[in-house]
Structure 1
Amino acid sequence: MARFIFITGGVVSSLGKGLASAALGSLLQARGFSVRLRKLDPYLNVDPGTMSPFEHGEVFVTDDGAETDLDLGHYERFTGVPARKTDSISSGRVYSNVLERERRGDYLGKTIQVIPHVTNEIKDFIRIGEDEVDFMLCEIGGTVGDIEGLPFFEAIRQFAQEKPQGDCIFVHLTLLPYISASGELKTKPTQHSVKELRSIGLAPDVLVCRSGRPIPEKEREKLALFCNVRPERVIAARDLDSIYDAPLVYHEEGLDQAVLDAFRISPAPKPDLTKWKDVSDAVHSPDGEVRIAIVGKYTQLEDAYKSINEALTHGGIANRVRVKVEWLDAEIFEGSDSSPHLERFHGIIVPGGFGERGTEGKINAARFARERQVPYLGICLGMQMAVIEAARNLVGIANAGSQEFDHEAGDARFEPVIFHMSEWVEGNRTVTREVGDDKGGTMRLGAYDAVLTPGSRVSEIYGGTEISERHRHRYEVDIAYRERLEGCGLSFSGLSPDGRLPEIMELPDHPWYVGVQFHPELKSKPFDPHPLFRSFVEAALRHSRLV
C-alpha cells in the first residue's frame, strides 16, 4: 500500500512545485522505491485541452489519450513513469462527475454538497492505484488561500485523517523574497502561508523554500520555530542553471532524507544518482553548440512548447552539445524573404498548433529548409505545412491548402491536401467525428502505432519498423496525394497499420528533412532522449560544421 506525499504551494504561483515534485520522485526512485505522480488542478475547465497556450502553456498528452497539465511532462521526464488519465484531474472534471452522478440518481435524492460529495470524488481519485507503488506524490495546483482550491485542501485533510497515522505527509513550497535595501531574506510571507495552511487543518512536515540565495542558519531556525517544522526539514530550493540539476541539488539539501525521516523510514536505502550526475555533466560540459530556430505561433510564451524545448536539450545531452533555441513568430515570414531570419541557424523546427494564423510563414520556413539543405523537423502541423509546401512547389498544385483553414473559411479556391478525418480505428472500436463537434477531447489523441518503410531514414533512426507515438490533432494528410508527392521526391516512410494515414514524411535526398504527424517530444527524457531529437541535433551539428 502506497504512502502519500501531498505537495502544496504558497505565497505566489509558478515557484516550481511541478519540478520539485518530479525531482523528489526521481530521488525516491534512486533509493529503490516505486513512485507515481499526480496533479490536482483547481480550475473549472474539464481539462486544459481547449485552453489557449498563452493561458496555460503546453498541453501534455498521455499514451491513453488524456490532455493534461504540462507538469505531467516533468513527472515523466524525471521518473520515466508513463502518465495516465488517472494522474490528472481538475475541479471541472470533479464537478462534472458529481453532476453526472446526480442526474443518474446515484445519490438517491440527497442534497449535493461540496462536503461530502465533491471531497469524496477527489478522495476516490487519489486512491486509484494506491496498491501499485511505494509512494504516491500528489501536487495541488495553485496556492493555499485560493478559494477554488479549498475543496482539494479539505479533501486531502480528510484523506490523511482516514489513513493510518504516518501514511501521509505534507510538503509545502513557499517563497523567501530578498529585500536588497536591507540585505535580508524575509521569512514573514512563508510564516503567513503556513498559518493559512494550518487554518484549514493542514500542517507541513517539510518546508521547501524557493530563494535565489542560500538560507542563513538564523533564518532557517526562525522558519522552523514559527512554522513548527524541524530545522533539518527546512529545505532551500535555489535557482538553477538547468532543471536537470534539481535531483542532485535537492539531494544535497536533504529533501529526500527529510521525507523519509517524516515517514520514519530508517535506515533509508542509499541513493544511486549516477544517471543524474551523467546528465548534469553533459549539460554543463558540452563539446560544441548548435543553433535551432523554432518557427511557431505561440512563441511569446516558451511554456507553450515546453516539451520540444526539453527534448532538444535531451538531444544535446546525447550529442554532448549545447542547443541554443530561438523562438521565431511564423508571421514574420509571411510575404517576405525568410532568408535573413533563418540562414544563421543549423536546424529548423516547425511545431504543432491550431488555426490559420502564421501558416504561410511556416510553409515558407519549410521551403527555406528544403531548398537550403538545412535540417528540418516538422511536428504535427509542421509536417502538414511541409506537405503543403511540397505540393505547391514540387508537384505544382499552386492552390494546395488544408481543410482546417480553407474549408472553414468557405474558400473553394484551395485544393485541400490536408483533410478533416471523420472516422478512424482506435483499438477495437471505430471513432467518428464531425467538423462541428465540441472541441474538447475530439481529436485523435494518445498513442497510435505506425509502420515504417524498411531502409528509410526514420527506420534507421528508430532502429526498427514498428513504433508507437502520441497524437493530438484533428486533420490528416490525404493519402490520395501520395503518388503525386512521392513522384516528386517526397517519401511517406511511416503509415498507420491500415495504410490509410501518413504518419511520417521525409526527403531522402535531403541531409535531414522529416515531418511527423505525432508529437515525439512527449516521450523524450534526459537519460533516454527521443531518437528523432537525438538524430536531428546530430544533423544540426553536422550542418554547423559546413557553414
Structure 2
Amino acid sequence: MTPLIFVTGGVVSSLGKGIAAASLAAVLEARGLRVTMMKLDPYINVDPGTMSPFQHGEVYVTDDGAETDLDLGHYERYLRTRLSRKNSITTGRIYDNVIRKERRGDYLGGTVQVIPHITDEIKRCIVEATEGFDIGLVEIGGTVGDIESLPFLEAIRQIRTERGPEGAIFMHLTLVPWIAAAGELKTKPTQHSVKELRSIGIQPDILLCRSEQPLPDSERRKIALFTNVPERAVISAVDLDNIYKMPRRFHEEGLDAIVLDRLRINAGPADLSQWDEVVDASEHPVDTVNIAVVGKYVDHQDAYKSVAEALKHGGLRQRTRVKLKWLESSDIEQQGVDALKDVDGILVPGGFGDRGFEGKVLTAKFARETGMPYFGICYGMQAAVVDYARHVAGLSGANSTENDKASPHPVIGLITEWRTSSGEIERRNEESDLGGTMRLGLQEQRLKPGTLSREMYGRDVVAERHRHRYEFNNRYRTQLEDAGLTISAKSMDDLLVEMVELPRDAHPWFLACQAHPEFLSTPRDGHPLFVGFIRAARERKAQAGGRLLKEATA
C-alpha cells in the first residue's frame, strides 16, 4: 500500500496546513517520487459547489469536474500530479456514500454506526485516492479538538495501527506564538495541542512549529521533551515573506529526510532548482505592473485565490512584480470608472448573480474604449459580450438571462433557452437546478487561426477547466461578428463559444474566455493567457511612460 503522511493542525485555524503539506510534497517530488495529495474536510456539505465564497473562498475545479476545497489548488500549484474528485472528501460525502450503501442493503439490515461504517468508508476513500503512488499526503481539515473532525482522526488512527509506523506517519502543524510583551516564544499551546491528539490515540511523529521567530534550540528541546517527539523531528516553520521559499526551507530543515527515514523509502537527492528560479524571479523583478481585479467578492480575496496566483505566475515568467488592486464591481456601478484609470491592465473574474454585474459591464466598456488590456474570465467574458452587444452592435437591453429573463436580446443564456429541436427559444430557468446545467471540468476547444488567442497558446487545440451554467447565445453569433467581435475559440463540436476578443487593429489586447485558465497555472510554468496579459500590461505601462516623458520634455 502507498505509504501515507497524515497532516493535522492544532491551536488555531489558518496556520497554512495546505501550503505546508504541499511544500513537503514538492520536495518529495523533487527527489524523484510520485506524490499525490488529499484533503479531508469535516463540514457536512457534500462538496463546496453551492457554498458561499464569503464562507468558503474559492471553489477549485479539477479535470473531472469536481468542485473542491481551495487547498487542492495549492496542491496542484506545487505538484505535477493532476488531482480528481477522489482527492477531496467531505463528511457530507462520506455520510452520503454510507447512506446509499445502507439503502441498497449492503449492510444486510445491520445497525449503521460511526465505527466501523463511517471510519471504514473514510479509509476506503483514502486508499482509493492514494493507490499507485510512491507516497501520499492526507490533510485533515479543521483544528484538533473540533468535534466534527473526530471520525477522520479515528480513521487515520486505525490506519496507523493497521499499517504500522513504516506505513503511515503523523505530522502535526501547530502554533508557537511570540508574546511581544514578554519577549518570548511560548510552547504551552503546542504541548496542549499534542496532548489533545494523544488523548484520542494519535502520537505525532513530526511537529511543524509555526512561529514569527525561528525556534531556538532550547525551545525545540523543550517541545520534544513534553510531546515525546524526537528533537530532530521538531521543525521550525518560521513565517516567510514568500510561500515559494517553503520547499527549500523544509529541505534545509531536513523534513524530507525525516519522512523518508520513518517510512523506509529510498529516494534520490532533491533537485529544487526550479523552485529556486521561481523565488529568484519573484525577488529580483525587472518591472512592476498594477492590475485591477474587478469582482463581486473582493472583501474575501480567497474567493479569487487561483486568479491572484495565476496573475503573479504570469509576472514570474517575465520577472515582473504584479500588484493587485481589488475593486468591488458594485462600487464601479455607483462611483464610475475613475478607479480604473491608474492601472496597467484589468481582469474581470467569474461570479454568479446580478449583484455587481453592471459594474463588470462598465469595466469591460472602459477597457474596450480606452485600449486598456482586458482579460475576462467566465462572467468577465459574459460582461464583455453584453457590453459589445449594447454599445457596439446596437442591441439595446442586451443582457444575460441570469440577470434579466425578459431581455429583448439575451446574448447570454442557458443552452436550453436557445438550443431546441424546433429552433424556438425556450425559457427554462425555473426548471433548472443550480448544478443541473453546470458545465464542469476539462474540455477541449479549437482556436481560430490568426487570432490573439491562437498566438497566446501557440497551438490549435487546447483544454481548459470550466465551471458555469450560462453560455454565449448562438443566435447572436453572426450579428456580433458582423459588428466586429471576433469569436476566437469554440468547442470541438462547434456548438459553444469559448473565447471572444477584439481585433488587434481595434485594441492592443482584449481577450475573454468562458473557461477558468487560472486553475491550470503554476509558479513554475505560468499560463499562456496570463503571461500574455501581463506582457500587454507591461507594454501599456511603457507606452504611458514614454508619453509622459515626451510631454514633460516638450
Query: Shorter-chain-normalised TM-score: which range?
Result: over 0.9
Q: Within 5 A, what are the aligned runs for 1:145-224?
A: 145-224=145-224
Answering whether residue 327 of structure 2 is matched by residue 292 of structure 1, we say no
- Indicate the SS of the match to 2:294: strand
The corresponding residue for 2:277 is 278
- Indicate the SS of the match to 1:545: helix
Deviation (angstroms), 1:500: 1.4
Deviation (angstroms), 1:251: 1.4
Q: Distance in 1 between matches of 2:516 and 2:485?
A: 21
Moved more, 255-264 or 276-285: 255-264
1:389–1:423 distance in 2 versus 1, CA, 3 Å: closer
The corresponding residue for 2:551 is none
Q: Distance in 2 between matches of 1:246 and 1:435?
A: 48
The corresponding residue for 2:513 is 516
The corresponding residue for 1:464 is 459
- Indicate the SS of the match to 2:535: helix
Alignment length (residue pairs): 534
Match of 2:448 among 427, 436, 453: 453
Deviation (angstroms), 1:252: 1.8
The corresponding residue for 2:413 is 419
Answering whether residue 538 of structure 2 is matched by residue 541 of structure 1, we say yes
Q: TM-score, with normalisation over the residues of structure 2?
A: 0.94
Q: Distance in 2 between matches of 1:440 and 1:172?
A: 36
Kindly provide the amino acid, as one letter, of the partner of residue 169 in structure 2.
I
User: Are the equivalent residues in 2 in contact too, given 1:406–1:414 (CA < 8 A)?
Assistant: no
- Indicate the SS of the match to 2:431: coil
The corresponding residue for 1:429 is none
Kindly provide the amino acid, as one letter, of the partner of residue 470 in structure 1.
R
Q: Distance in 2 between matches of 1:80 and 1:328?
A: 33
Answering whether residue 311 of structure 2 is matched by residue 316 of structure 1, we say no
User: Are the equivalent residues in 2 in contact too, given 1:293–1:349 (CA < 8 A)?
Assistant: yes
After superposition, the C-alpha distances for 1:186-228 in whole angstroms (9 at most, x for unaligned) are 1001000000001111111100011111111111000011011
In structure 2, the gaps of 5 or more residues are 420-427, 545-554
Q: Distance in 2 between matches of 1:438 and 1:500?
A: 22
The corresponding residue for 1:327 is 326
Q: Distance in 2 between matches of 1:222 and 1:441?
A: 56
Answering whether residue 387 of structure 2 is matched by residue 392 of structure 1, we say no
After superposition, the C-alpha distances for 1:281-316 in whole angstroms (9 at most, x for unaligned) are 001000010000000000001111000000011001
Kindly provide the amino acid, as one letter, of the partner of residue 421 in structure 1.
I
1:506–1:297 distance in 2 versus 1, CA, 3 Å: same
Kindly provide the amino acid, as one letter, of the partner of residue 328 in structure 2.
D
Runs in 1 of length 4+ with deviation above 6 angstroms?
none
Moved more, 164-173 or 320-329: 164-173
The corresponding residue for 1:255 is 255
Answering whether residue 438 of structure 2 is matched by residue 439 of structure 1, we say no
1:60–1:441 distance in 2 versus 1, CA, 3 Å: farther
Deviation (angstroms), 1:159: 1.3
Q: TM-score, with normalisation over the residues of structure 1?
A: 0.95
Q: Distance in 1 between matches of 2:162 and 2:437?
A: 38
1:438–1:199 distance in 2 versus 1, CA, 3 Å: farther
User: Are the equivalent residues in 1 in contact too, given 2:418–2:473 (CA < 8 A)?
Assistant: no
Q: Distance in 1 between matches of 2:2 and 2:430?
A: 44
- Indicate the SS of the match to 2:293: strand
In structure 1, the gaps of 5 or more residues are 426-432
- Indicate the SS of the match to 2:543: coil
Q: Within 5 A, what are the aligned runs for 1:10-409?
A: 10-265=10-265, 269-338=268-337, 340-407=338-405
Deviation (angstroms), 1:441: 6.6
Kindly provide the amino acid, as one letter, of the partner of residue 363 in structure 1.
V
Kindly provide the amino acid, as one letter, of the partner of residue 531 in structure 1.
P
Q: Distance in 1 between matches of 2:335 and 2:399?
A: 19
User: Are the equivalent residues in 2 in contact too, given 1:44–1:91 (CA < 8 A)?
Assistant: yes
Deviation (angstroms), 1:480: 1.3
Q: Distance in 2 between matches of 1:248 and 1:506?
A: 41
User: Are the equivalent residues in 1 in contact too, given 2:165–2:263 (CA < 8 A)?
Assistant: no
Deviation (angstroms), 1:523: 0.2
1:335–1:396 distance in 2 versus 1, CA, 3 Å: farther
RMSD over equivalenced CA pairs, Å: 1.5
- Indicate the SS of the match to 2:404: helix
Deviation (angstroms), 1:437: 3.8
Deviation (angstroms), 1:265: 3.9
Kindly provide the amino acid, as one letter, of the partner of residue 516 in structure 2.
H
Q: Distance in 1 between matches of 2:344 and 2:475?
A: 34
1:209–1:84 distance in 2 versus 1, CA, 3 Å: same
Moved more, 468-477 or 163-172: 163-172
- Indicate the SS of the match to 1:82: coil
1:86–1:285 distance in 2 versus 1, CA, 3 Å: same
1:305–1:518 distance in 2 versus 1, CA, 3 Å: same
Q: Distance in 2 between matches of 1:424 and 1:406?
A: 15
Kindly provide the amino acid, as one letter, of the partner of residue 449 in structure 1.
E
Deviation (angstroms), 1:237: 1.2
User: Are the equivalent residues in 1 in contact too, given 2:36–2:130 (CA < 8 A)?
Assistant: no
1:359–1:281 distance in 2 versus 1, CA, 3 Å: same
Identity of aligned residues (%): 56
Q: Distance in 2 between matches of 1:162 and 1:19?
A: 28
